[in-house]
Structure 1
């Protein structure tokens, strides 16, 4: 894990890189980018990410999936953990999934716990 001065945390293991940070403002909005492949071997890095979200307790989480190239059941399991880690009224947005990743999200009914969006969310500049 590498933390930077702009509240960004970078984690990488087993073909998955996760970048998470709080967005400008009150610090209660989180941005997370998943890049690479997510599978069972990613469980430790995913668990540490959920721990970070629990500590931050954001009111919204934007999960950028554009760079995620492979996902198995580990993705919906992780997203369920994210949903449980943040306050009950927090918004969780799954943003820009590739078609094959969106199929996994829809097949596992992730729309029941998060909003799936392919377009900009209006959440401000997250880069």
Structure 2
């Protein structure tokens, strides 16, 4: 997973060299690791900071192509609450680690879902339904 760590963060980012937002990182990971082409959705929200738009889009995407799981496996998505709403997505690695990007100063990082910053923010785990 070290190949993903450090990829720069960019609002609405869909290009690895220019930077990725959390959905862009998930798209890249799924394309490279599983051969799945997830939709871009880059034209469906104005900014990653627009919580209402991104939450609605997250719900749409989950209902469209993902199913909830109780025990996540490597590569499953974890949806996390930010400011009380399901807003952020990461990729489950070896438990309890996950890969995500949210901070423009750090880029993509591996964090622990057991850390105080994330343990109480888990909205759910999801497995992608293959195309």
TM-score of the aligned structures, taking structure 1 as reference length:
0.32
The answer to which structure has the higher strand fraction is: 1
- Which structure has the higher relative contact order (CA within 8 Å, separation 6+)? 2
The answer to which structure has the higher helix fraction is: 1
